Copies of this chain bind each other. A is one copy, B any other.
Amino acid sequence: MKFIHTADWHLGKLVHGVYMTEEQKEVLYQFVNIVEEEKPDAVVIAGDLYDRSVPPTGAVELLNEMLFKINVELKTPIVAISGNHDSAERLSFGSSWFQHSQFYLKGKVDDQFSPVRINGVNFYCVPYAEPGIVRQLLGDDSIHSHQDAMKALIGKIEKEINHREVNVFVGHAFVLGGKTSESERTLSVGGSGCVGAELFAPFHYTALGHLHSPDAIKHETVRYSGSLLKYSFSEAKQRKSISIVTIDEKGVFSIEEKVLKPKRDMRIIEGTMEELLDPVRIQSEQTEDYLKVTLLDRGAIVDPMGKLRQAYPNVLHLERQLDVIDERKKESYGMKREEKKSELDLFADFYYQMTTDSFTAEKRKVMERVIQEALLEVNQK
């Protein structure tokens, strides 16, 4: 039995104001080609098919097209659940019809704990759900955290599970030990969003979604496939792939990762304006990539973004070296230093972050006066 484990497609995603739809279409076509070549027994999508509960119509059409190619044209069963970015109710529409062609889409968590059975393997599907929903569903007032909720749900599954068969869990959760990146929206406040990997012990393989790196957790049987694309610059160094899982009748499996290559990579580069605009460097660069640029110049530069975009049209974010130095300061002085910053310094930080312009002595003077006036007014009240 061979299945493809993927997750976190985030169709309709905006990164720094740019829709990723074209990139997503590109890698999904690669994905469909892999399905065509590999002829897996199933494709498992572990949540966050969309980036938001009401995705743009282009994303709806793209998902429809891709799933139709995989499921109907290539006759490949699909097992999919909703993630925290999906609307469970909206994603569920039509799912009762989809089953006919072995497309098993579980949007809402419910009290049906029977697995989807494909080629002798049982897939237990648990879509993302807030602890409150699971508390209500199971009528168990002791459920408060994601850990409680997952434990209770797996407890229900354990009552039915046949341990002599091969059992795979499909879920969308923040499993303990994972690293987070900017684009993984925090599931819950505090530590209660985490779920311990030990809960998944009853399963031969656990196909997770939510964290965007395939290396997010080091565990023998509990795995993230990682997202389809890099969705933030904090993921710039992650490889993006899908996992081809081959599992035997005893539940012993091997993994092969297939890398997906978007038209434009997402990278961080740095240098002075002169270095970055050097024709020799430009020639060797993939200038169309989505870039975060750290400018190392110290002086004032007029319209740095405009200049850079003439050579690198898809610069999405620009930082000045000054910010970097500040970051280093923060680290060496620690948080106490941070707390003692004057209003003027705090504003200067804010100004750098917002504008990437230089906060000149002249600007500093103006701001100093504004702050003094404001403080005076506050003290008079």
Contact = CB atoms under 8 A, between A and B. Distances in A.
Contacts of A97: 68, 71-72, 94, 97-98, 100-101, 103
Nearest to A68: B96
A274 interface: no
Interface string A52-85: 0010010011011000100110000000000000
A29 interface: no
A275 interface: no
A117 interface: no
Contacts of A101: 97, 100
A89 interface: yes
Given A92-B64, A96-B72, A57 B103 contact: no
Contact of A64 (B64, B94, B100): B94
A241 interface: no
B96 A94 contact: no
A93 interface: yes
A360 B313 CA distance: 66
A228 to B, nearest CB: 19
Contacts of A64: 92-94, 96
Interface in A112-147: none
Which of A57, A72, A103 has the largest number of chain B CB atoms within 10 A?
Answer: A57
A87 interface: yes
A61 B96 CA distance: 12
Contact of A94 (B57, B87, B94): B94
A185 interface: no
B100 A60 contact: no
A64 to B, nearest CB: 5
A60 to B, nearest CB: 5
Nearest to A100: B100
A90 interface: yes
Most-contacted residue by chain B among A60, A63, A64, A94 (CB, 10 A): A94
Given A54-B54, A57-B90, A97-B101, 20 more contacts: A57-B87, A57-B89, A60-B89, A60-B93, A61-B89, A61-B92, A63-B93, A64-B93, A64-B96, A71-B97, A72-B96, A93-B94, A94-B94, A94-B97, A94-B98, A97-B97, A97-B98, A97-B100, A100-B100, A100-B101
Interface of A: 54, 57, 60-61, 63-64, 68, 71-72, 87, 89-90, 92-94, 96-98, 100-101, 103
7 contacts: A54-B54, A60-B92, A61-B89, A64-B94, A94-B94, A97-B97, A97-B101
Complex A-B, nearest 8 residue pairs according to Cβ-Cβ distance, in ascending order: A94-B94, A57-B89, A64-B93, A68-B96, A97-B97, A97-B98, A54-B54, A60-B93
